[in-house]
Chain A
């Protein structure tokens, strides 16, 4: 075995270790630039698409068709005054935006953009690095991203950010569970956690088809994980002003903004990698032999990512924000149990088929057990529902005994009292321009008025 076949390099693509350092640097720089440009693009894209959905044009002033709007906004933020509230914990206040942005960038290091290509005379995969535990890197980065939010909320020394930060952290960790569980079935199918391995395991069939339940749960939970509408309770304007970044301004605010969009791009890229075949060409295009070779896959990859971002924007343009309790219920009481049962079913089918059971038997048995597992709690839930309804009916009966209260309205024969007689202004009064009405109010400080 050559020394370059590192244990970290997965079983698929050799050649991560033997690259000259300048080529690694170029790839790092490319990923960085890709993320920043994608962020700028995603912001304009979102505003344009939401604009169209609301019968507006969206930004159209800066650059051709308004494409440079986000760049202009970013530049503007750089020249805004930086305000640090007096009660803020300076060090942590400063640290939080950095902690928020850095993991967002790091998560992209394991995402495969394409197959092995020739780059400046070296054969290299279009992926920054490939670890046997690649997906865990993304998972770890998203769990580190929570810090940025918790710390910014705490360090601002203000009520709204603290509430927003706590809420948002609770939300992110809740949906991280659902997200983590939805990836289990993918690992089961691919037999590996390396991102490149997962892509190459989808050469015949994209995971989204057999694992549609996992995909749906993943898609829902990443919306919660990235704090996007309709799950944007962290910055619910109507309740919390701006949430955790209320007290942030200038470039510090820009960092949070950047992190949010990069996270959105990352989860889109991960969805592409895990479920949508990664950089593989979609069906009609995949008939062409050259579609999955050379630099073309980058195009398919970016196309899929943009399509996923479009769904994010679509959701934002369509759905109203959830209430916090409904939101937590969706995460803990719906997504997690469905996920667990689904994982067990998929695992059982998978294992039984491997043991040589006939396909129908291997499918029917676990599904039957799952149905049983669903039916019994459903019956229990129905029982609880009936009990509650009965209780409510009893409560209604009890209320019916009393007189039905109504909103106090004035009686129909109300005589409107006549207006009080205006008193004449006292010219030699204590207050020069005071009206008579003013003086009907007992000030108590008439001596120095």
Chain B
């Protein structure tokens, strides 16, 4: 049962089955390229996408190392959930946002250097253990008969019980943290439809504002509508599209030459 087969037969490449070797040498460079691309690409979304590629390859690595549950969970949680969160954040930040040159966090260089050294140590230990002779563990017996998930459950809910329950605490922290960072408390209760209707009528202007560009040359939202007498309807221009109140005031008046009917 130590023989590992590809559909074609007992082909082997050194000590590693051929299929696994091929998968590794194809996916490994992709994962690495994704990781490098993540750091080097200028566009934030592109760099997030290359991280997605890396995550997907890691999932595939779990699969070829006989961890089907772990592999798919890697794809579901990392590529499916966490990277979607990243993408959301990038989209909220905006597509043309570039790196800020001002460092807002104090001492971040020191912290980054420290963490970098720590990470390098971890990697070094990992590689060191990998090149020293290790006895490979056979996963065929815990996986036999489709028992992969059963074996994981048996370990997770007995031996690693504490870590498992701690995860739930971590999830609470995550949810509360997200609330603290992202939630904007509403001031007062949500106005009812009835109330909104009343307020609208009280405001003295129940009808909608004039649309932009009416009777004008263009209909872009920046172009004010013209009133029948040719003067500019100031209400028709979105406040946000004007740089300032002064600019709104400085809108071309009919006498300044902006045409009405042509």
Contact = CB atoms under 8 A, between A and B. Distances in A.
- Does a CB–CB distance below 8 Å link A and B in the complex? yes
Interface in B141-176: 143-149
A194 B146 contact: yes
B88 A166 contact: yes
A132 B81 contact: no
A132 B84 contact: no
Contact of A133 (B3, B72, B230): B72
Nearest to A169: B84
Interface of A: 1, 3-5, 7-12, 17-21, 24, 89, 91-92, 95, 131-133, 136-137, 139-140, 143-144, 146-147, 150-151, 154, 157, 162, 166, 169, 173, 192-194, 197, 388, 391-392, 395, 399, 405-408, 438, 441-445
B149 A132 contact: yes
Given A3-B1, A441-B230, A442-B229, A388 B189 contact: yes
Given A144-B80, A147-B52, A169-B84, A157 B149 contact: no
Nearest to B254: A444
B interface: dominant SS = helix
Contact of A7 (B73, B91, B143, B257): B143
B188 to A, nearest CB: 10
A60 to B, nearest CB: 40
B87 A144 contact: no
A11 B149 contact: no
Contacts of B68: 7-8, 131-133
Closest 9 CB pairs of A and B: A143-B80, A7-B143, A132-B146, A444-B254, A136-B72, A10-B146, A405-B201, A140-B75, A11-B146
Nearest to B252: A444
A91 B258 CA distance: 41
A9 to B, nearest CB: 7
B5 A144 contact: no
Contacts of B259: 443-445
**Interface range on chain B (Cβ under 8 Å from partner):** 35 or more
Interface string B1-20: 10101011010000000000
Given A92-B49, A132-B147, A7 B140 contact: yes
Nearest to A130: B146
A25 B257 CA distance: 72
A20 B38 CA distance: 40
B72 A169 contact: no
Contacts of A24: 7
Contacts of A146: 80, 84
Contacts of A136: 69, 72-73, 76
A10 B147 CA distance: 8
B176 to A, nearest CB: 17
Contacts of A395: 192, 195
Contacts of A5: 144-145
Contacts of A441: 228-230, 260-261
A441 B75 CA distance: 66
Contacts of A10: 146
B116 to A, nearest CB: 30
Q: Which of A7, A137, A443 is most buried by chain B, counting CB atoms within 10 A of its CB?
A: A7
